Amino acid sequence: MKKDGYNVAVVGATGAVGNMMIKVLERRSFPVKQICMLASGRSVGRKLQFKGKDYPVLELNESSFEGIDIGLFSAGGSISARFAPIAANEGCIVIDNTAHFRMDTDVPLVVPEVNPEQIGKYTVKNIIANPNCSTIQMLVVLKPLHDAAEIKRIVVSTYQSVSGTGKDALEEMLNQSREMANSIQWNKEEGLDKLWSGLMPFRQIETKVYPHRIAFECLPQIDIFMPNDYTKEEMKMVWETGKILDPNIRVTATTVRVPTFSGHSESVNIETKEKLSAQEAKDILRKAPGVKVLDDPSKSEYPLTALAAGEDYTLVGRIREDESIDKGLNLWVVSDNILKGAALNAVQIAEILVERYI
Ligand code: 25A
Ligand code: L14
């Protein structure tokens, strides 16, 4: 580790993830010598705070990375495609939060609790990729179970919050919810028909962000559709689990957007080679790094998005044996998608990088 710290650039500093990256660097006392806030020209003139000081937002350009040691990127895949190689050529180590480089065999894809040893391979391209948020939280929980009992197959369904799509989507959900709640005047003394007919005008409304209304609805589509009719988000979970944890594990996913504000939830079913009782799984998970077990059915205690908000840990509960097969478990996993799902994971990678490598 350098005595006087590192020059760090945050690309996409004004976005939901970039903003959280700045807060996490500050909270965890990352050894920052100088910080540089980069975004598009739209945000030039704005200021962002770091450790009580104001920093101007600068427009990202080809000379942004002179003298920068570490670049934390979260401004979308096309920005990373263009600027990460430029930064890397300048000697800046890029930690990229977009999907662009994740499956590149020359780029390590890292969850610090799962495969930190991969970080050392950053030297090939000077780029390290941060996995997809839904993959990160699932693997933090499954890694210790895989070590104990060898996972053969994963069936996962996600319930992903609107914050994953950004501020415009949050605004769309709130506006739609307000409009519906105000327009549908109904109480329980009245017939249900009045409620159903009140909903009718909202069956097909104009939307800006999502293909359908998100308020009071579940959308079984996240990201684009692929030729096999899975969505790209579903395939990211399949591909990335193979690269990070074990290519021998079979994975199938259904990813769903639900009208929650922040925090992704997941129903995870695993089939293992060795038998693992629910009690054994709980004992293993109580000792696992980055994991907090919340599992007391008698008190209706289990992970919730409200409990995961602002929390570094991935929460797991509803741990029970899958009684339809010999060796299987069901779990409910919730984590803050902007924090462990993006910003925190990236900063943890940077921490290992400076502790062990640069
Ligand atoms: O394609 P990917 O890889 O899947 O990533 C797509 C997007 O997902 C977010 C992230 O958006 C990314 O852009 N994201 C990525 N990983 C995520 C994860 N794990 C994730 N979200 C959740 N979980 P974001 O909103 O967090 O951040 C976007 C940032 O990128 C900056 N940016 C955009 N284009 C840029 C650029 N920076 C440099 N050069 C470019 N060409 C963007 O800065 C933001 O910091 P900005 O200045 O463009 O936006 C500041 C504010 O302006 C508003 N705004 C957005 N779009 C418009 C706009 N205003 C006017 N017109 C617009 N078209 C917003 O309010 C924004 O906050
Ligand atoms: O691949 O919840 O990092 O919309 C970031 C946003 C995945 C989806 C990524 C979301 C995307 C996520």
One DSSP character per residue, 287-337 reads TSTTEEE--BGGGTB---HHHHTT-SSEEEEEEEE-TTSSSEEEEEEEE-T
Atom of ligand 1 nearest to the CA of 60: 38
> Catalytic: 218?
no
Mean pLDDT by 10 residues, the chain (358 residues): 92 96 98 98 98 98 98 98 98 98 98 98 98 98 98 99 95 98 96 97 95 98 98 98 98 99 99 98 98 98 98 99 98 98 98 97
- For residue 93, what are the β-bridge partners? 70
- The predicted-structure confidence for 305-350, as pLDDT tens digits, reads as follows 999 999 999 999 999 999 999 999 999 999 999 999 999 999 999 9
| Ligand 2 site, residue 158, Cβ cutoff 6 A | no
Separate counts of helices (H) and strands (E) for the chain:
9, 13
Task: Please list, in sequence order, all residues whose beta carbon lies within 8 angstroms of the beta carbon of residue 314, skipping any fewer than 6 positions away.
Answer: 137, 140, 141, 290, 291, 292, 308, 333, 334, 335, 340
Atom of ligand 2 nearest to the CA of 165: 4
The reported pTM is 0.93
- The predicted-structure confidence for 67-107, as pLDDT tens digits, reads as follows 999 999 999 999 999 999 999 999 999 999 999 999 999 99
> Catalytic: 264?
yes
* Active-site residue identified among 36, 92, 100, 133: 133
Nearest ligand, measured from the Cα of 341: 1
